[in-house]
Amino acid sequence: MLGRGTAAVLLVLLALLAAGCSARLVPPQQPPPEPRQVVLLEHGRHASLVLFDAEQVPWRFAYGDRRWYLENIRGPGPAASALFSDSPAVLGRRALDSPDPAHWQAQVGSLITATVPFQVDAGRVDALLDTLHGVFASAGDVVPAPHLGLEVTAHPQPYRLGHNSNHVVAQWLQALDVQVQGNPAIGRWRTQH
């Protein structure tokens, strides 16, 4: 087990090493025959995704470390544990009250630093929504997390440095036929049109 000082030094070194990392999003080059809006929400060093369903209800999804994200256990030790070992993860969701991103901040537990909207194929959005809602249906235990503005359930894949919220959002974007170039580990998303 790492001491607090060692964990803090490792986190600083990791942050410095990753400071140049960023991911570039390349939405589909051709307009989809049946377009549907998707919005990437940036929250500083992590991201979440808003998918509009067939009725145009915006659903926000987020992935995170259970202890850090849900239980609010913070500090260098828990951060090092979350990054350098497999730790339990959660998936969060919420149907937002408005389709207008200007009204989302009051409903989102994390500061929204940027919104990145783009159009993708509606069939791909529906398939991803089915998959994400399916995680909730199969997990069974859904917990309200008012401080996050979400309800959460256990996610089957553990959280770690190589599989954090940005990696999961990148996987979701790739399922929507959005190319993700570069390293999404620490956020810093850029869009190429």
Please count the structural domains in the chain: 1
- Section 140-145 average pLDDT: 87
How much of the chain, in percent, has pLDDT values that exceed 70? Answer: 75
Flag whether the pTM goes above 0.85: no
Query: Strands 23-26, 189-191: parallel, antiparallel or unpaired by DSSP?
Result: parallel
Write b or e for each residue in 56-78: b if 16 or more Cβ atoms lie within 10 A of its Cβ, otherwise e: eebbbbbbbbbbbbbeeeeebbb
For 46-72, the pLDDT digits (tens) are 899 999 999 999 999 999 888 777 776
- Section 155-164 average pLDDT: 84
Beta strands in 56-113 (DSSP E): 58-65, 87-95
Residues of the domain holding 88: 4-191
Q: What is the mean pLDDT of the chain?
A: 82
Instruction: Provide φ and ψ at 105, rounded to 5°.
Output: -55, -40
